[in-house]
Amino acid sequence: MLIVQKFGGTSVGDLERIQNVANRVSKTLQEGHQVVVVVSAMSGETNKLIAYAEHYTPSPERSEVDMLLSSGERVTAALLSIALNAMGHKAASMSGRRAGIVTDNVHTKARIESIDPSAMHAELAAGKVVVVAGFQGVSESGQVTTLGRGGSDLSAVALAGALEADLCEIYTDVDGIYTTDPRIEPKARKMDKISYDEMLELASLGAKVLQNRSVELAKKLNVNLVTRSSFSDAEGTLI
Ligand code: ADP
Ligand code: ASP
Ligand code: MG
């Protein structure tokens, strides 16, 4: 199978957690699958960078904000790739640009217009695991763009669609989709399955566990989406 695995900020929150992610990816590779990994910035990093920009002005140029924020995901992608190579795998990290993600030019909230997966296919064909920096693309004029908060989910779903992946796994800090936020409501119940539309409703009510646009796109492209924990082997929720 070709599997896209996305790891959110908490899952890559420090160097040991990135190693934990490398171990998981390694296990999937050893099972004989091809893997494209999508990573977020280390937790807190995006907020920190926004605060840095706002040190100078409350309204920094949005194109500069994108240049700044996109760096967070690149750090994680490169570190994970280095960790995988150190384990004896062949890994290649990519910015959104090299992954072929072209967007409109609405900086900080760009929409994906097209994806050219040829560089990813070439690396996969060379036996590599591809590690893509989430949350970013490039506009037609060549400027880096970002996809809105939580946008690495969208990167993962869009890449899964473009690669015609068999499965898109979203690894996060809870073991699936609950009836309500399990961190706020201890009685929340985990669901084994949820429809795209029910998930869209939860997302539009503010359940940031999956970014709204990513659910819309998964529905449109019919992507097999699973949300699960990077800290346990629990089954997760199929959307
Ligand atoms: P990541 O950094 O991995 O993208 P997020 O913080 O964006 O993770 O999303 C995961 C969080 O979503 C969980 O920690 C949880 O508090 C929250 N959440 C809100 N609503 C739900 C829900 N219905 N089911 C599961 N998690 C939810
Ligand atoms: N790092 C970005 C954010 O914090 C994107 C993501 O994590 O999905 O919004
Ligand atoms: Mg998120």
Provide the CATH number for the domain around residue 61.
3.40.1160.10
pTM: 0.97
Q: Is the CB of 135 under 6 A from ligand 1?
A: no
Q: Is the CB of 173 under 6 A from ligand 1?
A: yes
Cβ-contact 238, 192 below 8 angstroms: yes
Q: Is the CB of 152 under 6 A from ligand 2?
A: yes
Question: Which of the listed residues 12, 152, 174 should we mutate to test ligand 1's pocket, taking the one with most ligand atoms within 8 A of CB?
Answer: 174
* Domains of the chain: total: 1
Which protein residue has the closest C-alpha to ligand 2 atom 8?
Answer: 150
Residue-level pLDDT at 75: 98
Q: 171-183 as b/e, with b when 16 or more CB fall inside 10 Å? A: bbebbbbbeeebe
Confidence of residue 162 (pLDDT cuts 50, 70, 90): very high
Give me ligand 1 centre to Cα 115, in Å.
27
Going by their DSSP bridges, the two strands 136-139 and 144-146 should be labelled as antiparallel
| Position 26 pLDDT exceeds 90 | yes
Residue-level pLDDT at 238: 98
pLDDT single digits (tens) 115-159: 999 999 999 999 999 999 999 999 999 999 999 999 999 999 999
SS3 172: strand
CA dihedral 7, 13, 17, 22 (to 10 degrees): 40
d(CA 70, CA 78): 13
Q: Is the CB of 209 under 6 A from ligand 1?
A: yes
The average pLDDT across 29-36 equals 98
Which atom number of ligand 1 is nearest to the Cα of residue 7? Answer: 3
The residue range of the domain holding 65 is 2-238
| Position 16 pLDDT exceeds 90 | yes
Residue-level pLDDT at 129: 98
Q: Is the CB of 41 under 6 A from ligand 1?
A: no
Q: Which helix (H) or strand (E) holds 92?
A: strand 91-94
Place of tokens 């959307």: 239
| Position 43 pLDDT exceeds 90 | yes
Q: Is the CB of 76 under 6 A from ligand 2?
A: no
Cβ-contact 165, 3 below 8 angstroms: yes
CA dihedral 211, 213, 217, 223 (to 10 degrees): 0
Residue-level pLDDT at 206: 86
